Amino acid sequence: MSLAIDEEFLTQTLIDLVQIDSRNPSLTPDGPGEAAVGKYIANTLAGLGLDVVTHTLGPDRVNVVGILRGTGGGRSLLLNGHMDTVGVEGMAEPFSGTIRDSRLYGRGSQDMKGSLGAMIAAMKALVDAKTPLAGDVMITVVADEEYLSDGTADIVKHYTADAAIVTEPTDLAIGRAHRGFMWYEVETTGRAAHGSRYDEGIDANIRMGRFLAELDKLEQALRQRSPHPLTGPPSLHAPIIKGGTETSTYSARCVLQVERRTSPGESSPQVTQELQDIIDKLAGEDPTFKATVRLVTERPPFEIEADADIVRAVEMASTRLLGEAPRHAGLPFWSDAALLSAAGIDTILLGPTGHGLHAAEEWVDLSSVLDLAHILADTCINFSGPR
């Protein structure tokens, strides 16, 4: 069985969502946050008959959770999407919601209000069908994914489920993996002295140069490692370096930021040790080489097995709708799927087609949004359906 989607409702909901500005204030200082769009979604879900709870995370920052209660004994499914968007610099029509050639334009249309519209329309389809599910279906629309993921970090404190679908854009492929990232600070310590006093000064900047030369070798070695089949190899880069105070003084301190992108299966102790090994090698060669490495931020990588039940349930729904099995994909970006997965919930990503994430022109393909709504509704039946 395939459930009917109210297409008019879906399109209007999506237009309304894009027309409500929800730029993340942590990224753009005049961004209004998620309060207004959250209120719209809470009202819409309550209108459909779901149990709705709004969690306030801070001024104008909210998560909204809608629960369609099952009759009991079935598996629960959580649909997750973020309400915040990035900024609108250079955009001609950031909040128009204009439709041309089956594309809906505006900031957040693909990332990810198209997905929110599809999730809400899928809930309406389940309600309209009057076929009670055995398990609960939860829709969690969250704040702050574009910055620190405070929204989903809060969701996993209050809710759990047997499986989750994060509806970030995937061109309707099943997103089964993405890389994680770690931010490090490496500091070399020297000794300040007048620029003429080579006998007293120890140059922290030149010592950081030695570290960078070794880091360059590690960077090349990472990409020789056997790549993860879905995400490719791990990688690193050195985005920021700061050292020294003035021209005629030996630099006493140099600080380097390193971003390391991690493959599924890599962990911070191992990655930290790779950087510590460079420091130990250089210190062994020269006792005046002094450096430390510190892990500043860590976001885990994400992966789910190809034969997980939630993968199967989505494959079944997607194949029935589109006539062929969906592609399994690794995604270039980090997502909230990693947080849900780390909380013990079997998670995949599945979202629409579009263009211009974080760019000056953004659109979502409306037919892929409709397909997504169908696949989500049918997956709810497959996974949490009547016993």
Binding stretches for Zn ion (CB under 5 A): 111-112, 168
Nearer to Zn ion, 116 or 313 (CB): 116
Minimum distance, C-beta of residue 111 to Zn ion, in the bound complex (Å): 4
The dihedral through the CA atoms of 136, 137, 143, 148 has a sign that is: positive
Distance CA 143, CA 147 (A): 9
Which phi and psi angles does 77 have, rounded to 5°?
Answer: -130, 135
Tell me the Cα Rg of the chain: 24
Minimum distance, C-beta of residue 272 to Zn ion, in the bound complex (Å): 29
Nearer to Zn ion, 62 or 68 (CB): 62
Q: 1, 156, 10, 141: which is closest to 85 by C-alpha?
A: 141
Nearer to Zn ion, 112 or 125 (CB): 112
Nearer to Zn ion, 144 or 346 (CB): 144
Distance CA 167, CA 165 (A): 6
Minimum distance, C-beta of residue 156 to Zn ion, in the bound complex (Å): 18
Minimum distance, C-beta of residue 269 to Zn ion, in the bound complex (Å): 30
The answer to whether the beta carbons of residues 164 and 314 sit under 8 Å apart is: no
Contacts of 344 (CB under 8 A, 6+ apart): 160
Minimum distance, C-beta of residue 242 to Zn ion, in the bound complex (Å): 31
Distance CA 194, CA 347 (A): 58
Distance CA 361, CA 341 (A): 32
Minimum distance, C-beta of residue 142 to Zn ion, in the bound complex (Å): 11
| Token digits of residue 133 | 């599910």
Nearer to Zn ion, 50 or 340 (CB): 340
Exposure class string for 284-320: b at 16+ Cβ within 10 A, else e: eeeeebbbebeeeebbbbbbbeeeeebbebbbbbbee
Nearer to Zn ion, 144 or 266 (CB): 144
Minimum distance, C-beta of residue 385 to Zn ion, in the bound complex (Å): 29
Q: Report the residue closest to Zn ion, judged by CB.
A: 111
Nearer to Zn ion, 81 or 190 (CB): 81
Minimum distance, C-beta of residue 82 to Zn ion, in the bound complex (Å): 6
The answer to whether the beta carbons of residues 101 and 2 sit under 8 Å apart is: no
Nearer to Zn ion, 150 or 203 (CB): 150
The answer to whether the beta carbons of residues 254 and 243 sit under 8 Å apart is: yes
Cis bond upstream, residue 182 (ω within 30): no
